[in-house]
């Protein structure tokens, strides 16, 4: 019961931060300004203030995408001031590797600002960096708002997601490093280790052991534990007002799922492959029919992993932002106190659920990973 209380307190804390950050936008735009908004989800129509439904949608989409600078909040009615810091951009262009700070784009995210750097012209459009084709001076769009005279560059920037990952890794190394060091002093951990040790035991006894088996689980513990805590910490970071959305990034979940896929494939024993390519105990015709199905299964398993994590976290972020936005969109119908009251209650509720989802998704990912590994290393009884 104490754990539940603790979680509730943390949820409320996270949530009130979120709300506090949302507030300045609300007060600064309490008087709706009629503006026509550009097509294509641009929120710069009145200096980055978020007010109308369209702007809210654009803001949401902008948040769900990765970002090249670390934006905390903005203020100011006439001239928007953005508080945050820029991050290093590392891109592989036609002219080779280029590195500079993201402030070079001057917070421009709609491709209108062209940054020339060592002979390459770069623009940033919806958090993606494009290189203008030679001869082009500005970005042109087709009817669907896709750039036509520029190509995407290979982007190794230290983006917000990368910062999030590094932060999560650092937290893990600090936390579990201290737990590991604590064992040198005595068998019973102290401090933060008291919280972390049961979690490690949970992963070992509830996830790895029952699925992989007593004999072989140890080999996969490093991966399972790292992935479990990595996903969980990143999910929780995503609930803070820092606004990380790392595990809601398709590239990140693809990478995580591929790790599971390769570990499963490389640790699989002969029986596993035999069950895929030449299923024992069924007629030859069935063996041939089953082969493509089983091969497909090999890929659908990690695919389900990556989609599940991505969709859950993205949906969670979208719902939280959507409910905060209720405060603005329902302002006219319910009045400012009514709109924000409803928004507050709904967001509080959903943030609590998101806190559960953050754990649940980490758990499910690790659980299924260990299940797949367990299937691959299982010793079959020969009939």
Partner 1 sequence: MNLIHDFSPGLFVIQAVILLVLILLMRKFAWKPILDSLQNREEGIQSALDAAENAKKELQNLQADNERVLKLAREEKEALLKEARELKAVILADAKSEAEKESEKIIKQAQETIVSEKRAALADLKNQVAGVSLQIAEELVKSELTNTGKQQELIAALLKENSLN
Binding site for partner 1 (CB under 8 A): 61, 64-66, 91-92, 128, 154-157, 159, 161-162, 165-166, 169, 172-173, 176-177, 179-181, 183, 187, 197, 200-201, 204, 218, 221-223, 225-227, 230, 249-252, 254-256, 258-259, 314
* 3-state DSSP of 42-96: CCCCCCCCCCCHHHHHHHHHHHHCCCCEEEEEEECCCCCEEEEEECEEEEEECCE
- State the nearest-atom distance from the C-beta of 276 to partner 1, in Å: 25
Distant-in-sequence, close-in-space partners of 129: CB < 8 Å, separation ≥ 6 = 68, 89, 91, 122, 123, 152, 153, 155, 157
Nearer to partner 1 by Cβ, of 93 and 343: the residue is 93
Strand order of the sheet with strand 120-125? 115-117, 120-125, 128-132, 150-152
Nearer to partner 1 by Cβ, of 6 and 92: the residue is 92
- State the nearest-atom distance from the C-beta of 372 to partner 1, in Å: 17
Nearer to partner 1 by Cβ, of 254 and 352: the residue is 254
- State the nearest-atom distance from the C-beta of 169 to partner 1, in Å: 5
Nearer to partner 1 by Cβ, of 177 and 297: the residue is 177
- State the nearest-atom distance from the C-beta of 123 to partner 1, in Å: 16
CA distances from 92 to 32, 60, 98, 122, 147 (A): 43, 28, 6, 11, 19
Nearer to partner 1 by Cβ, of 171 and 348: the residue is 171
- State the nearest-atom distance from the C-beta of 294 to partner 1, in Å: 26
Cα–Cα distance measured from residue 339 to residue 327, given in angstroms and rounded to the nearest whole number:
5
- State the nearest-atom distance from the C-beta of 172 to partner 1, in Å: 6
Cα–Cα distance measured from residue 279 to residue 292, given in angstroms and rounded to the nearest whole number:
11
CA distances from 97 to 31, 119, 135, 140, 155 (A): 47, 12, 20, 25, 10
Nearer to partner 1 by Cβ, of 82 and 126: the residue is 126
- State the nearest-atom distance from the C-beta of 226 to partner 1, in Å: 5
Nearer to partner 1 by Cβ, of 18 and 67: the residue is 67
Q: Is the dihedral of CA 367, 164, 20, 248 positive or negative?
A: negative
Q: Are the C-beta atoms of 179 and 197 separated by less than 8 Å?
A: yes
Nearer to partner 1 by Cβ, of 28 and 226: the residue is 226
- Hey, is 139 helix, strand or coil? coil
CA atoms within 13 A on the CB side of 272: 16
- State the nearest-atom distance from the C-beta of 371 to partner 1, in Å: 19
Name the region of 118 (left: φ>0; alpha: ψ -120 to 50; beta: rest). left
């Amino acid at each position: 019961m104490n754990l539940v209380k603790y979680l509730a307190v943390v949820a409320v804390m996270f949530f009130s931060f979120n709300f506090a950050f949302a507030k300045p936008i609300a007060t600064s735009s309490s008087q709706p300004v009629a503006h026509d908004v550009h097509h294509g989800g641009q929120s710069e129509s009145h200096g980055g203030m978020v007010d109308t439904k369209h702007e809210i949608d654009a803001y949401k989409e902008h948040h769900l995408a990765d970002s090249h600078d670390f934006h905390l909040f903005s203020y100011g009615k006439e001239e928007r001031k953005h508080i945050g810091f820029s991050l290093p951009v590392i891109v592989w262009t036609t002219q080779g590797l280029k590195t500079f700070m993201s402030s070079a784009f001057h917070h421009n995210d709609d491709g209108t600002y062209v940054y020339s750097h060592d002979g390459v012209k770069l623009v940033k459009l919806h958090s993606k960096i494009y290189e203008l084709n030679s001869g082009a001076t500005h970005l042109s769009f087709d009817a669907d708002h896709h750039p036509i005279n520029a190509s995407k560059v290979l982007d190794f920037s230290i983006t917000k997601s990368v910062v999030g990952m590094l932060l999560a890794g650092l937290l893990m190394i600090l936390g579990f490093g201290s737990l590991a060091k604590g064992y040198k002093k005595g068998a019973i951990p102290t401090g933060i280790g008291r919280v972390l040790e049961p979690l490690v035991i949970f992963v070992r006894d509830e996830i790895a052991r029952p699925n992989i088996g007593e004999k072989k689980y140890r080999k996969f513990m490093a991966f399972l534990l790292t992935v479990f805590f990595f996903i969980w910490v990143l999910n929780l970071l995503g609930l803070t007002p820092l606004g990380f959305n790392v595990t809601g990034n398709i590239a990140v979940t693809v990478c995580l799922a591929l790790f599971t896929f390769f570990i499963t494939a490389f640790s699989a024993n002969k029986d596993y492959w035999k069950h895929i390519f030449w299923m024992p105990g069924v007629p030859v015709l069935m063996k041939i029919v089953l082969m493509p199905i089983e091969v497909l299964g090999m890929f659908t398993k990690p695919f389900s992993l990556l989609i599940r994590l991505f969709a859950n976290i993205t949906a969670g972020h979208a719902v939280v932002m959507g409910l905060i936005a209720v405060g603005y969109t329902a302002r006219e119908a319910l009045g400012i106190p009514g709109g924000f009251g409803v928004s507050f209650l709904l967001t509080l509720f959903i943030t609590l659920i998101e806190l559960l989802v953050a754990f649940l998704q980490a758990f499910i990912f690790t659980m299924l990973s260990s299940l797949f590994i367990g299937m691959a290393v299982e010793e079959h009884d020969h009939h």
